[in-house]
Amino acid sequence: MKTVQTSLTPKSDGMLHLEIPVEKVGQIYRVTVTVNEAADDSWPEGYFASVIGKWDGEFVTEPEGEFEQRESL
The pLDDT score that the predictor gives to residue 28 is 93
Q: How many whole angstroms separate alpha carbon 20 and alpha carbon 17?
A: 10
Flag whether pLDDT at 62 surpasses 70: yes
Mean pLDDT for 26-45 is 81
pLDDT value of position 40: 65
Residue 52 placed within a domain: yes
- Asked if residue 65 has pLDDT above 80, the reply is yes
The verdict on residue 11 lying in a domain is yes
Is residue 53's pLDDT more than 70?
A: no
- pTM of this structure: 0.41
Domain membership of residue 14 (yes or no) is yes
Q: Is residue 15 part of a domain?
A: yes
Residue ranges making up the domain that contains 2:
1-61
- Domains identified in the chain, total number: 1
**What's the one-letter identity of residue 43?**
W
Whether 71 is in a domain gets the answer no
Residue 67 lies in a domain: no
Q: Are 16 and 35 in contact (CB under 8 A)?
A: yes
The larger pLDDT score, comparing residue 23 to residue 49, is at 23
73 inside domain: no
